[in-house]
């Protein structure tokens, strides 16, 4: 099938490259000509495991990047919209979606063949039907249904695992305005014969996406609230509490002779220094704002955001317990990205932690396997010392603060134990052995 993907960001580029790998002919469209040139040279503008190899394999044959949206629409049967849908502080920002919908509508005006437009970006329920479709119709002078198809196909890609998540999906959700649009969308995913495909309307597909992300975010804030209570309770470690909770056979079913299935979502029921990324915060806030616009109070999700926004302060409180003044204190920050295996610092808890410590006059040294450049864009090159290696980062800290669960930090104890005196270790992700250090503080204990 010939497909155009509009927007070559974390979602659009992964989707385009994987669809090419599956045998489709793909046009990746973007307004950013730097990205287009990079893609056509086989260079990925983003850091995603496995993406570069697949791009190199397909670019120039099954995959082409272009700024010419009209040509891409004319030469393909289906267009996926994967442009940004940021949260503007009040509500979801649909300006990019609107802009692209109009451009696609313009292209449809002069296209006689049937074409299906599918929204892949995360948009609040109703957007495909009440924003995208009317814009397509007004710009093309044609009618959705008889003249062209419209649908919604949410992405469930985790950053750092996006290629695996696309190539081995756990579900495919297809929202469509009619059966003809649906059949074209089904053809797109024909290679995934054994995957559960849920076919529904566009509004339900949009709601599934928000609900999925909001549930995961809620589990994290729930775990963090329990963790903060455990810390106040004294002699209770949230890690052990959650181990006890995870053993509930409804969470980790006992299959036979004591063996259990431990579902991976249990790792979202663990306390840490808060969730980040370009999805959870944005999506939960957009759903709250959407719900409130319909008169729903959205009290639970409001609390999920409030708990998450306060969580980085737990790190500061643990430091203040040992350093009444943070002015001039040498602190090493381990982990800057919002999660391991990515350089993305969008909404990372490391941002408020670093901002507060800099405001308090702390002398900071930071190490992250890949997010250094992103951190430099945020904090400049000389406000923080950026260590090239983990060893360099441990040269002389009075305190070490772990904020991202990079594997590289697993055996931190081996590096810390020989130090005299040992620095204070603050474990923001509870990934370390609390008994392996002279002075250890952790979230939720
Ligand atoms: C975006 C949304 O943020 C996410 O909610 C949705 O699920 C998928 O799309 P992401 O891929 O991270 O995720 O967006 P971003 O990294 O901002 O990339 C969007 C791309 O679209 C950029 O390369 C931008 O140049 C491009 N774009 C934007 C266009 O090509 N045309 C436009 O009109 C606007
Ligand atoms: C998320 C959803 O997982 C994905 O399905 C959706 O398509 C986009 O949003 P992403 O934000 O990229 O993906 O990564 P994820 O690994 O879910 O991390 C989100 C947040 O949850 C991070 O802040 C991370 O620290 C936290 N997290 C992640 C946990 O607390 N525990 C985990 O086991 C994994």
162, 340, 375, 383 from 158: Cα distances, Å? 5, 11, 21, 31
How many C-beta neighbours within 10 Å does residue 373 have? 12
Ligand 1 touching residue 386 (CB < 6 A): no
Counting ligands in written order, the one closest to the CA of 65 is: 1
Instruction: Grade residue 60 by pLDDT with cuts at 50, 70 and 90.
Output: very high
For residue 268, which atom of ligand 2 is closest to its CA?
31
CA neighbours closer than 13 Å in the CB half-sphere of residue 77: 13
Closest residue to atom 26 of ligand 1, CA basis: 7
pLDDT band at 347 (very low <50, low <70, confident <90, very high): very high
Residue 48: is its pLDDT beyond 90? Answer: no
What's the mean pLDDT when you consider all of the chain? 97
Mark whether 279 is an active-site residue: yes
pLDDT digits (tens, 9 = 90+) for 317-333: 999 999 999 999 999 99
Per-residue model confidence as pLDDT tens digits over 180-234:
999 999 999 999 999 999 999 999 999 999 999 999 999 999 999 999 999 999 9
Q: Which domains does the chain have, with CATH numbers?
A: 2-200 (3.40.50.720), 212-310 (3.40.50.720), 312-442 (3.40.50.720)
- Report the nearest-CA residue for atom 21 of ligand 2: 275
pLDDT of residue 365: 98
Task: Give the chain's end-to-end CA distance (angstroms, integer).
Answer: 55
Annotated catalytic residue within 177, 230, 273, 279: 279
* Cα angle: 17, vertex 102, 131; to 5 degrees: 95
Please identify, by atom number, the ligand 2 atom nearest to the C-alpha of residue 277: 11
The preferred substitution site among 160, 168, 220 for testing ligand 2, maximizing ligand atoms within 8 Å of CB, is 220
Mean pLDDT to the nearest integer, 293-313: 98
Tell me which DSSP letter residue 143 carries.
-
Q: Which residues surround ligand 2 with Cβ inside 6 Å? A: 155-159, 213, 216, 220, 267-268, 272, 275-277, 279-280, 338-339
pLDDT at position 303 over 90: yes
Ligand at minimal distance from the CA of 312 is: 2
Q: How far apart are CA 319 and CA 170, in angstroms?
A: 41
Pair of tokens at residue 147: 């003249």
Evaluate if residue 305 carries a pLDDT over 90. Answer: yes
Within the chain, what is the greatest distance between any pair of CA atoms? 76
> Cβ distance 182 to 151 under 8 Å?
yes
| 291 CA to centre of ligand 2 in angstroms | 23
Angle formed at CA 219 by CA 217 and CA 224, multiple of 5 degrees: 95
Q: Strands, E, within 92-225: which ranges?
A: 116-119, 149-152, 172-176, 197-200
* Res. 29: pLDDT tops 90: yes
Return the percentage of the chain with pLDDT > 70, whole number.
100
Which residue lies with its CA nearest to atom 16 of ligand 1?
9
**Ligand 1 centroid – CA 85 distance (Å):** 7
The answer, yes or no, to whether residue 101 has pLDDT greater than 90, is yes
Which two structure tokens, joined as six digits, stand for 234?
């004294």
Average pLDDT estimate for 304-315: 98
Dist. CA 146 → ligand 2 center (Å): 40
277, 347 Cβ separation under 8 angstroms: yes
Mutate to test the pocket of ligand 1, among 11, 83, 91, 205 (most ligand atoms within 8 A of CB): 83
pLDDT band at 46 (very low <50, low <70, confident <90, very high): confident
CA of 222 relative to ligand 1 center, distance in Å:
30
Q: Tell me, in angstroms, the distance from the centre of ligand 1 to residue 30's CA.
A: 9
What per-residue confidence (pLDDT) applies to 47? 80
- pTM comes to 0.95
pLDDT (tens digit per residue) in 115-170 = 999 999 999 999 999 999 999 999 999 999 999 999 999 999 999 899 999 999 99
**CA–CA dist 190, 183 (Å, integer):** 10
Point out which residues pair with 399 in neighbouring strands.
331, 424
Ligand 1 proximity of 155 Cβ (cutoff 6 Å) = yes
Give the list of residues 6+ apart from residue 302 with CB closer than 8 angstroms, or none: 288
What is the pLDDT at residue 7? Answer: 98
């Amino acid at each position: 099938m010939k497909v155009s993907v509009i927007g070559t960001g974390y979602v659009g580029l992964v989707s385009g490259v994987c669809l090419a790998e599956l045998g489709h002919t793909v046009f990746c469209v973007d307004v950013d000509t730097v990205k287009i040139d990079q893609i056509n040279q086989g260079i990925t503008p983003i850091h995603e495991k496995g993406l570069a190899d697949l791009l190199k394999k397909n670019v120039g044959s099954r995959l082409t990047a272009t700024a010419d949206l009209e040509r891409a629409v004319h030469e393909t049967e289906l267009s996926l919209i994967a442009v940004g849908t940021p949260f503007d502080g009040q509500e979801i920002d649909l300006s990019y979606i609107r802009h692209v919908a109009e451009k696609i509508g313009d292209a449809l005006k002069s296209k006689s063949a049937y074409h299906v437009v599918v929204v892949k970006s995360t948009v609040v329920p109703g957007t495909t039907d009440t924003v995208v479709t009317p814009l397509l119709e007004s710009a093309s002078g044609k009618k959705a249904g008889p003249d062209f198809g419209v649908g919604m196909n949410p992405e469930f890609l985790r950053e750092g695992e996006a290629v695996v998540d696309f190539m081995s999906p756990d579900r495919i959700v297809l929202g469509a305005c009619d059966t003809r649009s649906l059949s074209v969308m089904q053809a797109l995913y024909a290679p995934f014969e054994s995957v559960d495909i849920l076919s529904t309307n566009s509004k339900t597909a949009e709601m599934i996406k928000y609900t999925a992300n909001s549930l995961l975010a809620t589990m994290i804030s729930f775990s963090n609230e329990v963790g903060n209570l455990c810390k106040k309770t004294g002699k209770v470690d949230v890690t052990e509490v959650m181990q006890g909770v995870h053993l509930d056979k409804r969470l980790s079913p006992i299959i036979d002779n004591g063996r259990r299935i431990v579902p991976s979502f249990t790792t979202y029921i663990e306390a840490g220094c808060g969730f980040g990324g370009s999805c959870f915060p944005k999506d939960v806030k957009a759903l709250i704002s959407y719900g409130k616009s319909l008169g729903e109070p959205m009290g639970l999700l409001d609390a999920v955001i409030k708990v998450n926004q306060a969580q980085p302060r737990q790190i500061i409180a643990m430091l203040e317990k040992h350093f009444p003044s943070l002015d001039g204190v040498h602190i090493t920050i381990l982990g800057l990205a919002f999660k391991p295996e990515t350089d993305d610092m969008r909404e990372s808890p490391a941002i408020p932690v670093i901002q507060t410590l800099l405001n308090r006059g702390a002398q900071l040294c930071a190490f992250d396997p890949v997010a250094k450049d992103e951190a430099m864009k945020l904090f400049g090159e000389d406000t923080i010392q950026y260590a090239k290696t983990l060893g360099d980062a441990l040269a002389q800290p009075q305190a070490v603060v772990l904020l991202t669960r990079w594997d590289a930090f697993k055996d931190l104890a081996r590096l810390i134990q020989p130090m005299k005196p040992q620095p204070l270790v603050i474990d923001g992700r509870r990934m370390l052995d609390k008994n392996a250090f002279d002075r250890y503080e952790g979230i939720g204990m």
